[in-house]
Amino acid sequence: MTRADAGSRVALRTVRLACVIGLLLALGQSSSLGQDATPGTAKYGYEIHQSVDLGGHIADYSGSSSMYATLVNVQSGTRILGQTLNMHAIAKPKFPLFDDLMASSTGYGGDPNNVTVFQMSKGKLYDFRGLFRRDRQYFDYNLLANPLVPAGVTSNGYTFPQVNNSPHLFNTVRRMTDTDVALFPGARVSFHVGYSQNIMEGPTFSTIHTSAEALLDQLWRNSTDTWRGGVDWKVLSKTTLTYDEVITHYKGDTFWRLRGLNLQLSDGTPVTLGFDNVKVPSCADHAPPILSSTSNPPTANPTCNGYLQYSRSQPTRTLFPTEIFRFQSANITNVQMNGRISYTGATMTLPSLNESFAGLQSVPGSQPVREFSVTGNARAQRVNVSADYGLVWQMSRKLSLIEQYDFWNFRQPGTDNYTQLSFGGTSMLAPPSTTGTTASTNDAYFLGQKTEANTIEAEWQAMPRVDLSLGYRYRLRDIVYRNPDTNFIPVHEHGGLLGVVLRPSHNLKVNGNVEIAYVDNAFTRISPRQLQHYQVRTNYRADRWGTIFAVLNDLERRNNVAFVHHMDHNRAFSAGADLTPDEHYGLELGYGYTSLYTQTDECYVSTPAGPVTTTSPACVANGTPYYSPGLFSAPTQYGSIGVMLMPAKRLRTSAGSRMSTVNGTATMINPRQVPGSLQSQYQSPYASVAWTVHKGWIWKGDWNYYGYGEGTPIGPTLPRSFRGNVYTVDMHYEF
């Protein structure tokens, strides 16, 4: 489609949208000629309120359409922007099925997010709640999984193409349904049942590596169905027992197939030499990988590593039945208790794996493979038992004791059986050998962990406006993997807790918490051996003109053992104000700062050599030549400002802006890598106006600007910056 065609289509959408809005305005003006009427009616014994928002969007953007769709994805067109229905019984209703009913929806007609909510209840008989949501997720950040093929990689007149879209692009739709019914709510014995479904499907891209990297279509369809049922029994006035049964079934039916066949063999067979050609591939016959660049498509050397066909299917089924028992009680004087115990016995099956490859795969030290097929199956179980118990004992008016015990024990045994049948060959033009080799793999795996944690905390009202708390936490983790008899890792954690609550005045409250912990072992390299967590929250609420708040959160973690040297922190500060001294104007201010930092020793192989070329004993022992400290830092700032003005009773306006910027760095092992989103800015100013044309009729207009940019070189791919304007017009009608 040409730019002229695209412009014509946008213009046509704009005209249609203008006609709809004009009609709505005309209806609003004509209705104002009649008598004023309060929206809402009384009928059939119900007070009924309804509203509908009709309008649409005009989207105008330039730059990267992929990034616009990734971050915004609002397109032009008419929409049902919103709809509500509320019914409340005010007398003996004609239809006694329900006393209250509420339905609302938004986003239908083309928005990426559609939501419908429905609620209905009848006194103490039942309470029904349902929700449906549809989300379209488009994701194409083209640096993700990109080999960054440099310009000018040429063979025999043919230039290998650069990769301009993410090899792992997503364009999926997720449909989520939730329904819950409570029977006899508030009664001594009540019941609840529910059902949820989550379906995710759509095309995505993926990759596969067998001596060369190939592009795959990933035909995605995964679904989860969950059934819930339970009973609540109020044994005593302040004691309730609850039993729940939850059954979850997961069904994964994703299928992979080869794409990107951009070359041909001399007999016309489509082929690809891979998309990661950052240097000219070498072939077994030492001839160029491209034999002819004048044919259409170019002709590839059949002795190079390449793909003629590839597919894989691995349907997965998982069943998670879970039983949960809970209780809460406050019948004992000055004592409150709650507890929970749950058991899950899950079964995961891969009934049949089927993978097939045709092409040429050469690995140093072994015979080339012309074709192979893999079949097999796998099975695993997960048995999980968890429990917790909490107690609060009010020992005196100023002193209370809190006890929290948590237990978690799971084990996950699994087995797999795979058979690979391979046929050799030296050229993709020749058929594979008639004699194949068979390799079978039978594995047994085991992973288990038992965790026990106990926290004791005392709270003391030291002064009328000062509360103090002091606590101790002990956590034990026993980790078993591979073989329960030989691989056992105990991890002991000791931690101290301190809390302070200050109330200098009735308007001001300050909360502070500190947690410091030490761990004697680590299961993974990034698991902390030392931990410090600091939190401060302040809130000032003025009597008449607004609220001011500030939050500080600092999490520091370390694992400073030899050849690991892991350090990370997550520091965040946010502050804001909501100032509304009068109903005619208001001001909102917000600021946030986040600092994410991590460092972990890492060994790597790179061709050509990466920018960090030092070595360490651990890297040499693992046979890798290079060492990197693995630095990553992403300091991010966020700011927002919003102003509301209501100069007249029928006119309400607002304007503001939201901005974020990140100025991060990372160890660039790949010399072609660029910072990308680590050094970027995103801003979105906005403005809106709402004019009450007539009682029950409100005309609304909104403008949103979206701008994304990166302050660094884009790398060997398409630019990712974009700018866009989205105009939304809406006629709101209440009746």
Q: What is the mean pLDDT of residues 290-303?
A: 96
Instruction: Identify the pLDDT of residue 731.
Output: 96
Percentage of the chain beyond pLDDT 90 is: 79
Instruction: Count Cβ atoms within 10 A of the Cβ of residue 442 and give its class: 0-12 exposed, 13-18 middle, 19 or more buried.
Output: exposed
Q: Amino acid identity of 106?
A: T
Assess contact for 101 and 84: CB atoms under 8 A. Answer: no
Does residue 54 surpass a pLDDT of 60? yes
Burial class (CB in 10 A: 0-12, 13-18, 19+), 302: buried
pLDDT in the model for residue 15: 35
In the predicted structure, residue 184 carries a pLDDT above the cut 70: yes
Q: pLDDT tier at 619 (50, 70, 90 boundaries)?
A: confident
Phi, psi at 194, each rounded to 5°: -165, 165
Report how far residue 388's alpha carbon sits from residue 342's, in angstroms, rounded to the nearest whole number.
Answer: 9
pLDDT by residue (tens digit) across 653-707? 999 999 999 999 998 888 889 999 999 999 999 999 999 999 899 999 999 999 9
* pLDDT at site 606: 72
pLDDT of 37 over the 50 cut = no
For 551-574, give the DSSP string. EEEEEEEEE--TTT-EEEEEEEEE
What pLDDT does 624 receive?
79
Residue 445, pLDDT score: 87
Which range, 169-178, 516-525, 602-611, 619-628, is most confident? Answer: 169-178
pLDDT over 80 (residue 607): no
Checking if the pLDDT of 64 tops 80, the result is yes
Whether the pLDDT of residue 383 is over 80: the answer is yes
User: Averaged over 101-105, what is the pLDDT?
Assistant: 97
Integer angstrom CA distances of residue 141 from 71, 144, 546, 706, 725: 10, 6, 41, 17, 21
Using one digit for the tens of pLDDT, what is the confidence trace for 221-277?
Answer: 999 999 999 999 999 999 999 999 999 999 999 999 999 999 999 999 999 999 999
pLDDT at 10 over 60: no
**What is the value of pTM for the model shown?**
0.88
Residues 6+ apart with CB under 8 A from 281: 155, 212, 273, 274, 289, 304, 305
pLDDT in tens, 327-346: 999 999 999 999 999 999 99
DSSP-assigned letters across all residues of 640-651: EEEEEEEEETTE
For residue 545, the model assigns a pLDDT of 87
Q: Please check the confidence at residue 282 and state whether its pLDDT lies above 80.
A: yes
| pLDDT surpassing 60 at residue 349 | yes
Predicted confidence (pLDDT) at residue 71 exceeds the cutoff of 80: yes
pLDDT tens column, 256-271:
999 999 999 999 999 9
Reported as type and span, the H/E element at residue 8 is helix 3-31
CA distance 558 to 701: 51
Q: For residue 664, what pLDDT is reported? A: 95
Using 50, 70 and 90 to split pLDDT, how confident is the model at 6? Answer: very low
Q: Is the pLDDT confidence value at 11 over 50? A: no
Residue 484 has pLDDT above 80, yes or no: no
Whether 520 and 492 have beta carbons less than 8 Å apart is answered as yes
- Which whole number is the average pLDDT over 31-45? 56
Residue 47 has pLDDT above 50, yes or no: yes
Q: Please tell me the least confidently modeled range out of 39-53, 600-614, 627-641, 642-656.
A: 600-614
pLDDT computed for residue 36 by the predictor: 36
Other CB atoms within 10 A of residue 384 CB: 17
pLDDT at 24 over 60: no
pLDDT greater than 90 at residue 42: no
What percent of the chain stands above pLDDT 70?
Answer: 93
pLDDT classification of 610: cutoffs 50, 70, 90: low
Summary mean pLDDT of the chain: 91
DSSP tag of 272: B
Average pLDDT over residues 355-374: 92
Residue 627 has pLDDT above 70, yes or no: yes
Q: What pLDDT does 213 receive?
A: 93
Residue 620: predicted pLDDT: 77
Q: How confident is the model at residue 492 (pLDDT cuts 50, 70, 90)?
A: very high
Distance, CA of 608 to CA of 397 (rounded, Å): 71
